[in-house]
Amino acid sequence: MGALAGSLLPTTRREEQAVAQVQPALESAASELAEGAQSVVASAKDQAAKGAEHLKEAATDAAETVKADAQDAAQTVQAEAHDAPPPSAPPSPGWDPTRP
């Protein structure tokens, strides 16, 4: 209610002088805050870009490691398959191993 009444009453010369004295300081503070905020945003963008680059490098390294491990495993399987004895012939149909 007080704010409404205050907005309806005309300002006094003293109030106008107070506003005139305080306004430049408020504008200066707001300008400094804006500059500080821009600096923080620029720093955050820089840090995010560095983080993204680090993550990209880590993912690339991990992918290369997985690829190398898969190639090694494939070579091991291929070598073991080459060295394994050939499979025995399947039993003939009707053959029962429990009957001599």
Whether residue 59 is contained in a domain is answered as yes
Domain that holds residue 73: 17-79
User: Is 79:85 a contact under the CB 8 Å cutoff?
Assistant: no
Q: How many domains does the chain have?
A: 1
For the record, the structure tokens of 8 come out as 């309806």
17-59 residue pLDDT tens: 888 899 999 999 999 999 999 999 999 999 999 999 999 999 9
Q: What pLDDT is attached to residue 85?
A: 77
Per-chain mean pLDDT for the chain:
87
Q: Which helix (H) or strand (E) holds 56?
A: helix 13-83
Q: Is residue 65 part of a domain?
A: yes
9 belongs to a structural domain:
no
> Among residues of the chain, what percentage have pLDDT more than 70?
86
Whether 74 maps to a domain, the answer reads: yes
- 19 Cβ contact list (under 8 Å, min separation 6): 11
Instruction: Please report whether residue 21 resides in a domain.
Output: yes
* pTM score, whole prediction: 0.50
DSSP label at residue 97: T
